[in-house]
Structure 1
Amino acid sequence: MSEVVGIDVEIKGQSSVCKQMCFSVSCSSLLNTLSRVSGVVERRNAIDVLACINIKAQYGSIKLKATDLDISIFASLAANVSKEGEVKISAHTLRDIVKKLPTDLDVTFEVNDQGKLLISCGNANFSLPNIVSSNFPVLEEGDYKYDFTLLSTVLVDLLTKTKFAVSLDDTRYNLNGIYLHTDEQFLCCVATDGHRLSCVKKPKPGSVNGEFGVIIPRKTVMELLKVLDDCNEVNIKLSDRKIKFTCGEYILISKLIDGTFPDYKAVIPMSQDKQMIVESGKLASVIDRVSVVVSDKIKSIRFLLKEKLLTLHSNSQECSDATESIEVDYNETPMEIGFNSRYLLDVLSCIKNKCKFSLLDGNNAAIIFDEDDPSALYIVMPMRT
């Protein structure tokens, strides 16, 4: 069965059944919805309709939907509908227009006799073409095997603390997303690009029977995070190839990455014998200052650890260098280890208070823990500097 339905060839000059559509809506509310929906749409598309948002006005609300054929997003917004109808309009052009309008006014949409969409707000008026096609493409949902609900704050925590480690290398497609899976006790999110790894665990919902493992694409994660603050709970449905999120007035359906996530547990070091505890924010500030002299794409930094003191050092090919020391809780033998400063800053941004570095030597990965959140674990590989 085809996964995408409703793609039709554009028919030039076809009259729309929605010629008389007319509605008005709060400009600020519309901008908020467009900001969350339009990100799914790619700016360049060979198929005109895929560059559009589909807007359907009926029963005192407008329904918006957009897709890139891998993700479909749906939203509902209260509106004053005087004439029901449906249009397909350039997503990014519409968002750019609404961004420029006064947020305290209503904006009116109307389709004229020529099939163009007229937008008016205050003294501003715009006319946009309506992309004519009989259907709008959407993803078929299929049969879902799992159905559970999470607090939106829990899902936000899972995703934000792992998304930074997702690989951007398209040749490693199975690492281009977050691995959402369960074991006997936990619901876990894991991401890695081969140089670092993030893993966060939460108690498994009672409605989940058995175990599953799926890879959610990076783009899906980024678009989902835009809507999760709009609701208290999010319902998640899973099949072998699709995942569906329902959050307040938003529904997002996405294909899953067809691949096998590596056995990440095998790379978690088990014999770290040195522990360093430090305030995350203070360490991040020092790393940021010391790495500023490094103009290389990879800003490497070196840790020199001795009792109660961490000294950070960096240098560049232009012979610039920087050094700064910070007091830490460390009582082991002195050691040195190098890191990519960006990787450390990404981890530290997820930790509000104290963090703990678990170390072995300068050639082995560091495990970083959040002292306030035992559910989170981060691994950063060392680098030669």
Structure 2
Amino acid sequence: MKITVEKSALLAALTPLARIVARKPNVPILGNILMQAADGKLTVIGTDQDREVYTDAPAEVTIAGEVTLPCHTLFDFLRKVDSGSVSIEVEDGGGRAKVVAGRARVTLHTLPTADFPNIAESAATSTFSMPARDLRRPIERVAYAQSQEETRYYLCGVHVHVADGDLAFVATDGHRLGRSTIPVPNGAETLPPIILPSETVAELLKILDVEAEATVEVNDRMARFTAGPVTIVSKLVDGTYPDYRRVIPSGHDRTLKVCPKDLLGAVERVATITSERGSRVTLTIGEDGVGLATRSPEAGDSSDHLEAVEFEGDPIKIAFNSKYVTNLLSAIEGEVVEWRMTDPGAPVVIHDPSEIQTLRLLMPMGVQ
């Protein structure tokens, strides 16, 4: 194989691969990427055995062929050279490849292409296309609520399913819940309920942030997303998502309307007294506003008060994990947010009138 490719194009192709390929893999071939050159195009593939990422770059192909090269060694080398173009040539015998960029050059050991693993794919049962950023938006709206507890692996991701004529994206860790919906795209009517792993969700938020059409192909084991020159194939979480709809309150008798930025600032201020992430913040809510308080055994007490609010219902004293509140409020773009409450022990629905398709739920902590 012998090719010449623009450094910027090759770096752009390698960037999403470098995010998933291990720097110190248990199996050496998993630290390599597969490069395939033919017909004026270079295709590069990386995997961690749960996900595969494919990207393309235009190339001048003198000799077609394929090779595996150490991903991070090549990526780090290219980031440090100034040349506008890069040539890659596999030496006779295939055991080494020479990479030249201007006056800089490096010779890399290869591994057999036959050893490079691939995720066995099966036929998709649902295929649909839509603008990439329109698909990214509901994923971004709920990603904050994914669990990080591996013992509850089925919560470590985003649940996608068809419900009531919508395509719903859901995440919960048992303490908070996010649900965002879009109209079902043509072709997605047959989508089986799936759980996208957290690692795949993080990658999708990057590759879908483009002005391009995204194509999605899904069955009950795999999902393939293509946006622009990048394709990611991912295994799905093998589990059953709980019936989250049971915890969504059907009504409320207290409503707080407040500027999310004002409330976020107040929570952040009172939480500074403790070094513990996720300290308890207590909200005392009534017609005169919202009082906020937190306590640290080591440092003391902290309090604040917001008057610029609207409240309907009986006064209530309710406590939350401050980290969950700040994460949630940081994701809200509207000027006003509604907190819909019943009693201090029941879930609170946080509603942004500018995002009627998104529901956020927060479980309170016990009031001390």
Give the TM-score normalised by the residue count of structure 2. Answer: 0.92
Q: CA deviation at 1:124?
A: 2.9
Paired letter, 2:326: L
Instruction: Identify the residue that residue 381 of structure 1 maps to in structure 2.
Output: 363
Q: Does residue 233 in structure 1 map to residue 217 in structure 2?
A: no
State the identity as a percent: 31
Letter in 2 for 1:184: D
Match of 1:343 among 321, 324, 332: 324
SS class of match (1:330)? strand
CA distance, structure 1, for counterparts of residue 123 and residue 191 of structure 2: 17
Q: Is the 8 A contact 2:88 2:98 kept in 1?
A: yes
Structure 1 residue aligned with 2:198:
218
**Unmatched 5+ stretches in structure 1:** 1-20
For 2:119, the equivalent position in structure 1 comes to 139
SS of 1:364 mapped into structure 2: coil
Aligned residues of 1:38 and 1:53 also touching (Cα < 8 A) = no
CA–CA separation in structure 1 for the residues paired with 2:297 and 2:96: 58
Tell me the CA shift for residue 204 of structure 1. 0.9
Give the Å deviation of 1:258.
Answer: 1.3
Separation in structure 1 between the aligned mates of residue 355 and residue 271 of structure 2, nearest angstrom = 28
2-structure distance, mates of 1:285, 1:97 = 43
Q: Does 1:111 align with 2:93?
A: no
- How much does 1:89 deviate? 1.6
Name the structure 2 match of 1:18.
none
Instruction: Give the letter for the 1:51 counterpart.
Output: G
Q: 1:236 to 1:296 in 2, by over 3 A?
A: same
Which amino acid in structure 2 is aligned with residue 355 of structure 1?
A: V
Matched, 1:254 2:234: yes
SS in 1 for 2:241: coil
Partner of 2:28 in structure 1?
48
TM-fit CA distance, 1:135: 4.3
Structure 2 CA distance for aligned equivalents of residues 335 and 109 of structure 1? 68
Q: Which secondary structure does the structure 1 equivalent of 2:209 belong to?
A: helix
Find the aligned partners of 2:196 and 2:276 in 1 and give their Cα distance.
32
Query: Which residue of 1 is the match for residue 285 of structure 2?
Result: 305
Mapped to 1, the partners of 2:296 and 2:286 lie a distance apart of: 24
1:145-156 alignment to 2 at 5 Å? Answer: 145-156=125-136
Alignment partner of 1:361 is 2:340: no
Partners in 2 of 1:273 and 1:82 — Cα distance? 72
Q: CA deviation at 1:42?
A: 2.7
Q: Please, which of 1, 7, 13 is the counterpart of residue 33 of structure 1?
A: 13
Aligned twin of 2:309: 328
Corresponding residue to 2:79 among 85, 99, 114: 99
Is residue 126 of structure 1 aligned with residue 80 of structure 2?
A: no
Q: Which moved more, 1:178-187 or 1:361-370?
A: 361-370
What do residues 60-87 of structure 1 show as CA deviations (whole Å, max 9, x unaligned)?
2210111122111111111233332322
Match for residue 153 of structure 2? Answer: 173
How far apart, CA to CA, are the structure 2 residues paired with 1:184 and 1:306?
36
Contact 1:308 1:331 in 2 (8 A): no
| In structure 2, distance between residues paired with 1:113 and 1:319 | 69
1:100 and 1:329, CA in 2 relative to 1: closer, same or farther beyond 3 A? farther
Q: Deviations over 1:163-202 (max 9, x none)?
A: 1111111111111111100023100000111111110011
Residue 22 (1) aligns with residue 22 (2) = no
- SS, match of residue 35 in structure 1: helix
**Take 1:292 and 1:126, find their aligned partners in 2: how far apart are those partners?**
50
Q: Does 1:71 align with 2:65?
A: no
- The answer (yes or no) to whether the contact 1:277–1:355 under 8 Å persists in 2 is yes
Question: Does the residue aligned with 1:229 lie in a helix, a strand or coil?
Answer: coil
Deviations 1:308-327 (A, max 9, x none): 52222222221333222222
In the alignment, does 2:224 pair up with 1:244?
A: yes
Confirm or deny that 1:284 pairs with 2:268. Answer: no
1:266 Cα offset (Å): 0.2
Instruction: Please say if residues 259 and 337 of structure 2, whose CA atoms lie closer than 8 Å, have aligned partners that are also in contact.
Output: yes
Q: Runs ≥4 in structure 1, deviation > 6 angstroms?
A: none
Per the TM alignment, residue 35 of structure 1 is displaced from its structure 2 partner at its CA by 1.7
Q: TM-score, normalised by structure 1?
A: 0.89
Q: Assess, with a 3 A threshold, how the Cα gap between structure 1 residues 297 and 209 changes in structure 2: closer, same or farther.
A: closer
Structure 1 distance, partners of 2:295, 2:87, is 58
**Contact 2:126/2:218 (<8 A) preserved:** yes
Secondary structure of 1:141's aligned partner: coil
Quote how far apart the aligned CAs of 1:339 are.
0.9
Check whether the contact 2:41–2:59 (CA below 8 A) recurs between aligned residues. yes
Q: Which runs of 5+ in 2 are unaligned?
A: none
RMSD: 1.9
In the alignment, the residues of structure 2 paired with residue 66 and residue 168 of structure 1 have an alpha-carbon distance, to the nearest angstrom, of 25
Q: 1:97 to 1:179 in 2, by over 3 A?
A: same
For 2:272 and 2:299, locate their aligned partners in 1 and report how far apart those are by CA, in whole Å: 13
